[in-house]
Structures are given as C-alpha cells and as structure tokens.
C-alpha cells in the first residue's frame, strides 16, 4: 500500500531517493551524471600527449617549490 502511494505521487520508493527528492529533481541529477560520464569518456579518447602534460606539471611543481630560492 505504501508503494502504491509513492507511485501515485510520483515519488521514489526507496528512502534515499525520497530524501534526495526534497532537495533536487532526481531526473535532472541522472542527466547531469550521464553528461559528466560522457565528458570524462570523451577526455579519455582525445589525443592528449600525456608525456608532455606530465612534464609540464612536473616543471610547474618544481617552479612553485623552488620559488623562494629566486626571491630576494
């Protein structure tokens, strides 16, 4: 009987879903997560030179750590 009520009111039947539905629209949340996953997968398939990226990161880290040496 409780499940019928939730179904009629268009409310999620699980407790966590009901709690989350008070704060935001769950369908929009699911769409947002799908978009985030798509962007993440798209980034994986891009032609990125990871060696160069990591080298630049290392160079930047080195510059930040040793900044005090070059300051007067």
According to the model, what pLDDT value does residue 1 have? 66
Q: Which pTM does this prediction carry?
A: 0.40
Distance CA 19, CA 15 (A): 6
Distance CA 37, CA 41 (A): 6
Q: In the chain, what are the domain boundaries?
A: 2-70
pLDDT exceeds cutoff 80 at 2 = no
SS (H, E, C) 12-64: CCCHHHHHHHCCCCHHHHHHHHHHHHHHHHHHHHCCCCHHHHHHHHHHHHHHH
CB 30, CB 37: distance < 8 Å: no
- pLDDT for 8-52, tens place per residue? 888 888 899 888 888 888 788 889 999 999 998 888 877 888 899
């Amino acid at each position: 009987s409780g499940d019928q009520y939730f179904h009629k009111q268009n409310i999620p039947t699980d407790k966590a879903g009901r709690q989350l539905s008070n704060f935001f629209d769950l369908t929009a949340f699911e769409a947002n997560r799908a978009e985030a996953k798509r962007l993440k997968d798209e980034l994986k398939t891009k032609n990125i030179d990871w060696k160069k990226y990591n080298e630049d990161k290392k160079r930047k880290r080195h510059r930040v750590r040793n900044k005090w040496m070059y300051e007067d």
